[in-house]
Structure 1
Amino acid sequence: MGYQLEICANSVQSVINAELAGADRVELCDNLWEGGTTPSAASIKLAKERTNIPIYILVRPRGGDFVYSDLEFEIIKEDIKICKELGVEGIVSGVLNTDGTLDKARTRELVELSKPLPFTFHRAFDVANDPLQALEDIIDCGAARILTSGQKNSAIEGIDLLKQIQEKAAGRIVIMPGGGINASNIEELLTIGCHEFHMSGKKAQKSMAKPSHVNMNSSKDIPENIIFTSDIGTIRSVIEKIDVDS
């Protein structure tokens, strides 16, 4: 089995760059500062029109936790319907209960609604209280893959759990490591038996606008003169490492 590299693309330009770099697939989202939220319908439409790379959509109505109100859950379902109408290739989502267990009823409903598209359970897995039980629950819901950093801030930090759940999955579901993956650590991650990997490959660019003394966001931790885009060279450097080991 060959390796596949999925790019977390935060814009249409990032999707274009991922395709030019030779990535296998993208997960299109918005608001990387919040861990990713659902992109606009216009972004999905233009990404589909301007590229040929398979596009999965992150369906997440807000940042924060993965426990959703009835209204938020309805928004998720409506977004999935819109994504299907726009012709995307996959859906990325998932729901937890307040105690950190998997909300199997709601997750299964989203998996069924997404069909025939494959469903990736996103990094809500990384805050589940029992990863091995969550693995079994997600498999039982019919998801195609799990995106996870091994319940750490990066995949390389979570490599021990990634290896454990990859072995326990035993081919029943794809385990896709993601989080801080780059050319300096991908070779180590290739040793754990996974065949799909997820990275943003983002690179910062300064805004062309003149500096402002007014912040549009109340948080001082979010720089407003920096724009992040998935970088062709950064992605290619990882693909080259993967190709050597293929």
Structure 2
Amino acid sequence: MSVLVEVCVDTTEGLAEAVRGGAGRIELCSALDLGGLTPSVGMMQRAAGAGVPIYAMIRPRPGDFVWSPDEIALMETDIEAAYSAGLQGVVLGASRPDGRLDTDVLGLLIARAAKMGLTLNRCFDLVPDFSDALEQAIALGFHRVLTSGGEKRAAEGSDRLASLMAQARRRIIIMPGGGVSAETLAPFKGLPLREVHASCSAPVLASGPVVDFGFAARIGRRTDGARLRDLCAALADPGLR
């Protein structure tokens, strides 16, 4: 069975490059340097015809995943916008102040996303009890959990990822994400991978007035089709099984 590669993008150029490079699904965002925020309605509409499933990140601001009533209302509207644009799914997350999943808020958001694919975002990596949180995600009806196994990079969380996959028993997809590339797959050898999440990006240097005025970071990232193709080839290697 081939492993699906989901690529996160935040520009139209990145979207086109990811599709050309063989992405099986797109996580559509803005502000990837902040972990990904909700894309604009225009970006959603533009991406809808890309030819691969598109999941919109629904996250109205950077920081934690403890949402105010106003933010929850905004997220509901953004979910409706994603559905109206013709996108296939949404990426959601909500936490209680102690880090546990906020199942009440998640249930409300999921109800707005009826008939759409559902990914639980990396708020999962902040939970105090991964086993309990996984069962909550399954009960809520999520189709997959994007997680690094509670570590900054998925390769460092491979032991917990293995445990989560065993617990899931194919009731839900555990999708490793966080620094995943062709060069970091060794710790995943032998895991029953079904999907992985990656940026497949390369650094880009900027200079001149756009940097001086604060309109761009001096070092940014850009989706790189070659890195995506390398990742797909590495995942297809029988030696990884």
Per the normalisation by structure 2, the TM-score is 0.94
- Give 3-state SS (helix, strand or coil) of 2:45's partner: helix
The residue type paired with residue 183 of structure 1 is A
Matches of 1:213 and 1:185 in 2, distance apart? Answer: 35
Q: How far is 1:7 from its partner?
A: 0.4
Greater Cα offset, 186-195 or 71-80: 186-195
The residue number in structure 1 matching 2:56 is 57
1:242 maps to 2:235: yes
Quick one: distance in 2 between partners of 1:211 and 1:87?
34
Query: Does the alignment pair 1:163 with 2:162?
Result: yes
Shift of 1:187: 4.5
1:101-133 per-residue CA deviation (whole Å, 9 max, x = no partner) reads 111111122222212111100000001111111
Structure 2: state its 5+ residue gaps: none
The alignment partner of 1:143 has SS state of coil
* Number of residue equivalences: 239
Alpha-carbon RMSD across the aligned residues, in angstroms, is 1.6
Q: 1:211 to 1:111 in 2, by over 3 A?
A: closer
The equivalent residue for 2:199 is: 200
Distance in 2, Cα, partners of 1:212 & 1:38: 24
Offset, 1:213:
3.8
Q: CA deviation at 1:194?
A: 2.2
Q: What residue is the counterpart of 1:115 in the other structure?
A: 114
Residue 21 (structure 1) aligned with residue 21 (structure 2): yes
**C-alpha contact (below 8 Å) 1:187/1:241 kept by paired residues:** no
Cα distance in 2, alignment partners of residues 212 and 52 from structure 1: 34
Residue 150 of structure 1 is matched in structure 2 by 149
Give deviations 1:116-152, integer Å, cap 9, x for gaps: 1111000000011111111011111111110000000
**Contact 1:187 / 1:242 at 8 angstroms: preserved in 2?**
no
Percent pairwise identity: 32
Structure 1 segment 1-246 matched on structure 2, within 5 A: 1-49=1-49, 51-207=50-206, 209-210=208-209, 212-215=211-214, 224-245=217-238
Counterpart residue identity of residue 153, structure 1? K
Structure 1, residues 146-183: CA drift from partner, whole Å, max 9, x if none? 00000000000000110001100111111000000111
* CA positional deviation for 1:215: 3.4
The residue aligned with 1:220 is none
CA deviation vs aligned residue, 1:57-113 (integer Å, no higher than 9, x gap): 100001100000000011111000000000001110121111111111111222222
CA distance in 2, matches of 1:214, 1:16: 29
Residues 16, 47 of structure 1: 8 Å contact kept = no
Answer yes or no: is the 8 Å Cα contact 2:155–2:188 preserved in 1: yes
Structure 1, gaps ≥5 residues long: 217-222
1:211, distance to aligned residue in structure 2 (A): 6.1
Q: Distance in 1 between matches of 2:73 and 2:161?
A: 32
Deviation string 1:222-241 (CA, Å, 9 cap, x unpaired) is x7233422110010000111
Structure 1 residue 212, shift from structure 2 partner = 4.8
